[in-house]
Amino acid sequence: MYATYHPCGLPFAIGGDVPHIRHLVEAAPKLPGVDVMIGTVAKSINRKDKIVEVEDRRTLKKMMIAYDKLILATGSLPLVPPIPGVNLKNVFTLRTMHDGEEILATLPRTNKAVVIGAGPIGIEAASALKERGLDVTMIEMKPSALPGMLDADMSEAVLEKLNQVGIKTMCCSPVKEIKGEGSVSSVVVGETEIPSDMVILAMGVKPDLELAQQAGIEMGASKLIKVDDHLRTSDPDIYAIGDCAESKCFFTGRPMRSQLATTAIRMGKVAGANAAGGDKVFPGVLNTVVSSAYGLELAAAGLTAQAAKDAGIDVVTGRIRTLSKPYFYPGAEPIIVKLVVERGTRKLVGGQIIGDGSAERATLLAFAISHSSTVDELASMEYSYAPPVNECIEPLMIAAEAVMRKL
């Protein structure tokens, strides 16, 4: 039981980039007026009397804690689909320190692994297991990898990289069954049976809403806890943040899910300030995200072209391929940039980047999008250049000019 650990680091601990999994754990903060209760579970909320009933898991002792303002940050649980065989030994989720420790303990006896789900965690887990020398197959039921983060044309570059390093990928492939006698021995996909002695379920998360639902807190259209722009729930003295709380799309204002660590941190700052008497507003999300596929950096901000079309936004896209550094400099690698721009206003709507420096470029795009910047402004921005770190013409600008030619 830990006060804070970093679940996003679990795949990299499994792959060996993080030397020891316990390096992901942070000590409980020691701040004046802050009482951190580890190993304690909140059992119920009495909204009328403003009391939370908690229980110490070690002693089973129950306590009543009074509050003036309460913040719900109950997070999420790994999604375990109703596939026959998910309860077999060596079928894991990858969400907690315990999950990571169990996978690491099993690795010495593992030769073949199947990862179900090709989102960021699935891709990172598949890469980690390949780095450990396993024969890895990644299965995704949707037509492309990283659905929701990348358009299909950008996803192809990721799948190409994974195939190059020997990770077998299968899209449009729902899993029918996980087979085994006590322990997993194979995974059935359609008419194909894939031998495997380890399975990692990386199919997303489901919000942990039990405490809020028991307290009668209202749920929103996304089936998460409904909050206003100050992150107040239907009870004005209770706030909700993170994976259990509803976000809103920056573009449409519609309720949506944004179960990212960065969203939780931003929400926490707003709710914490407001619970202490402040007046901060949560502006919505662009779902800026970065991942890594066997050393290939990939990131996105804002809407994909498909998501924009689904939202009724008329967009123009530009996709370019260039180098991360000048051709003459050692280490120059391909970089792919795709921009999504609203046709009428010429405003940036989204962007996807694959290659070195993707995270920084996605962060810059997120800032530009949130400030209603146009593709013309991106094309004329000032930027830095030195051969060891960047191409002499910034790749974002090349992509912006490609869109402008279409417009």
* CA gap 164, 152 in Å, rounded: 18
Q: Where on the phi/psi map is residue 201: left (φ > 0), alpha (ψ -120 to 50), or beta?
A: beta
Asked if 350 and 356 touch (Cβ cutoff 8 Å), the reply is: no
* CA gap 387, 70 in Å, rounded: 52
Q: Tokens 């998501």 identify what position?
A: 307
Question: Which two tokens mark 369?
Answer: 């999008």
* CA gap 259, 81 in Å, rounded: 18
* CA gap 202, 319 in Å, rounded: 29
* CA gap 300, 287 in Å, rounded: 8
* CA gap 208, 214 in Å, rounded: 12
* CA gap 294, 12 in Å, rounded: 10
DSSP state of 285: B
Q: Are strands 112-116 and 135-139 parallel, antiparallel or unpaired?
A: parallel
Question: Which two tokens mark 279?
Answer: 């007046």
* CA gap 67, 87 in Å, rounded: 40
Q: Which amino acid appears at position 178 of this protein? A: I
* CA gap 44, 62 in Å, rounded: 11
How many CB atoms lie under 10 A from the CB of residue 10?
26
Catalytic one of 8, 171, 172, 392 = 8
DSSP, residue by residue, 220-235: -TTSSB---TT-B-SS
* CA gap 22, 125 in Å, rounded: 18
* CA gap 2, 13 in Å, rounded: 17
Question: Which two tokens mark 351?
Answer: 């962007």
* CA gap 336, 121 in Å, rounded: 21
State yes or no: is 8 an active-site residue. yes
Q: Tokens 């229980």 identify what position?
A: 55
Q: Which residues are annotated as catalytic?
A: 8
